[in-house]
Amino acid sequence: MAITQKVNEMMKDLLLSSDLELYDVELNAGKLKVTVNSKLGITIDELADINRKISSELDKQDLIQSKYTLEVSSPGLERKLRKKEHYLGAINERISVKLGPHVEGERRYVGTLVKINEEILTIQDSKGTQDEINLSDVTSAKTVFEWGNNPKPGSGKTHSGVS
């Protein structure tokens, strides 16, 4: 069993008594990145607490024989979409998708994820055009957070538009 699968199993037990859920586990170049999420949001203190628990459990189980760095975080505003479950959780959200070099024509899409059926993503752009993308052609994807316009300095307006 791969290390990431073992960490996934370990995380199920660690998160059982909390409101946190496992979003993703990645191991790349000696960095073990564990991403946790919560419907209520996550505080820095909660991340620090779960980091200590994961670190302790990894030491106890001795899952990783080589030197590694543990990074525990929330998915953030612009979260990676790597698994089908990630895409399902991003329906009706704005996403950015990059396709592999083997794909002919357009290879970058930004729009609202309308649906995912089997292995096909349907993305609608700002003009209402829908494109179907084969999930196996996607090399990277993430949600896109749209920042509101900031008022000009000295205009006397706040973010809410009230002076």
pTM: 0.76
Q: Is 97 left (phi over 0), alpha (psi -120 to 50) or beta?
A: beta
Instruction: Supply the pLDDT for residue 16.
Output: 84
Show the domains of the chain with their CATH numbers: 3-73 (3.30.300.70), 84-143 (2.30.30.100)
Q: Is 19 in contact with 50 (CB distance < 8 Å)?
A: no
Instruction: Supply the pLDDT for residue 158.
Output: 59
Length of the chain: 163
Q: Is 81 in contact with 95 (CB distance < 8 Å)?
A: yes
Instruction: Supply the pLDDT for residue 162.
Output: 55
Instruction: Supply the pLDDT for residue 114.
Output: 97
- What is the residue type of 90? A
Q: Is 51 in contact with 62 (CB distance < 8 Å)?
A: no
Comparing CA positions, the residue from 83, 78, 94 lying closest to residue 26 is 83
Q: Please write the tens of the pLDDT for every residue from 85-122.
A: 999 999 999 999 999 999 998 999 999 999 999 899 99
154 vs 8, higher pLDDT: 8
